[in-house]
Amino acid sequence: MLVREGAALIEGLVHWQYGEENDPTGHRRLAMSVLAEALRAVDPAEAVRRCLRLQGETLFVGAETYNLRRFRSIYVIGGGKASVAMAMAVEEILGDRIIAGLVNTKYGYTAPTARVAINEAGHPLPDENGLRGGRRMLELVEAAGEDSLVFCLISGGGSALLVSPAEGLTLADKQGLTNLLLRCGATINEINTLRKHLSRMKGGNLARLAYPATLVSLILSDVVGNPLDVIASGPTVPDTSTFADAYNVLERYGILDQVPPAVLRHLRQGLAGEIPDTPKPGDPVFAKGQNLLVASNEIASEAAVAKAKELGFNTLFLTSFVEGEAREVAKFEAALAREVARSGRPLARPACIVAGGETTVTVRGQGKGGRNQELCLAAAMKISGIENVAIISLATDGSDGPTDAAGAVADGETLARAAGKGLDPWHYLANNDSYTLFAQIGDLLVTGPTNTNVNDLVFVFAF
């Protein structure tokens, strides 16, 4: 029923290492080719190439077209862990048409480029190098006029790497405030409201600075649900929050007297109307250009589903919004696997059910693991003994928690394999030590850094 395929096809973008001895049926190899296709679809360069196509002087970007004759100059700016790969793909397509550019990237993530300068900077904590890069981006954006096309390349880590404190503020001021807010238990939404009102870039401010140039943002989403105003704090996206909202957060937590004075001064200027608020939905600065999601959890899921279908699987894509404690999400995934195995519902074998998102782990133990590996370990306990099913969970950035694995594979024999090595899976789960267990039974997924991040993918396979 299933079409087998050779090693060649699954060793394109990523190389998988897993216990070959655990794959007598070849089922895993088949599953791996589905995962590889998901990763390939969200490879940053691949994603840019898919969305950007030049034909003569017409540039197709997603559903829009741009007549390049209209533009005297093209600039490229951006920040994030994938910005280098994205910049290289843009260069590949637009070449010498790019007049200048700079992207901020994390230390160690550089590569040779022709037109777009690569600036290594601090992440997750922004630093002086990041600031310098930010200043250069603002210069470029301000140089861009009505006849300019500006590409902004945004990916995971962009919040720290697209950094430019508002006038009069320092990095230390912003960091002091963030730490204060975290201590109060402020929500990420509240923190972002403050961030957007203390930055020259975030909360749509970059779009205002770029206006009247045409601004095209290519966005690789690492936030569940792809809220464009949240990814990298939405530098090119309308903001619905106000200076008043930002001020109210501080008031609500009773910390007005503790925030850095420069922060308070800035917010009060905003409240007094001396500084314009972030641009709101409908603001003319957003009338030109577009925000285009080039890679996301769904895009990866869709590629996985398409590949699985091609291999003969019945497929179901459930959601890209998975959240929750990893070992609990595991039970739901196992419930799906058990139903498929018992009744052939919601899908008959061979079946592939895909769900995406990002789980969390409440660490109680001392072990080594990641949310995807822990999910698999907990799932293994619920599908033990069921034949020819597997639950596979994958961190698309290739790094699941503080480990060198991207995830793991659980199946009906996981517990038996562990028992065969004298390992008690309950002990490993209790100690958040999933890595150590899966390493010993050869069921880790190892991809190495994938240069992308669209959160996690969880697969139920029934062969």
Residues that bind its own copies (CB under 8 A): 225, 298, 316-325, 328-329, 331-332, 334-336, 338-339, 342-343, 345-346, 355, 357, 382
Amino acid at 161: L
Q: Find the radius of gyration of the CA atoms of the chain.
A: 24
Alpha carbon 383 to chain centroid, angstroms: 30
| Identity of the residue, 107 or 321, whose beta carbon is nearer to its own copies in the bound complex | 321
Question: Which alpha helices (H) appear in 102-258, and where do they start and end?
Answer: 128-143, 158-161, 171-184, 188-196, 205-210, 243-252
Query: Please, where are the H alpha helices in 153-296?
Result: 158-161, 171-184, 188-196, 205-210, 243-252, 261-271
Q: How far is the CB of 327 from its own copies (least distance, A)?
A: 9
CB of 347 to its own copies, least distance (A): 10
Q: Do 158 and 192 meet the contact criterion of CB atoms below 8 Å apart?
A: no
- Amino acid in the structure at residue 438: F
**Nearer residue to its own copies within complex by CB, 48 or 355:** 355
In this structure, the strands spanning 214-220 and 148-154 are parallel
Least separation in angstroms between CB 231 and its own copies: 16
Q: How far is the CB of 415 from its own copies (least distance, A)?
A: 14
What's the closest the beta carbon of residue 413 comes to its own copies, in angstroms? 19
Name which of 49 and 382 has its Cβ closer to its own copies: 382
Helix then strand count (H, E) for the chain reads 17, 15
**Least distance CB 356 / its own copies (angstroms):** 9
CB 421 within 8 A of CB 372: no
Residue 435 tokens read as: 């890595």
State which residue, 136 or 382, has the beta carbon closest to its own copies: 382
Residue with smaller CB distance to its own copies, 137 or 336: 336
Our CB check for its own copies shows the closer of 2 and 381 to be 381
Residue 329 or 410 having the CB closest to its own copies: 329
Distance CA 180, CA 454 (A): 29
CB of 156 to its own copies, least distance (A): 20
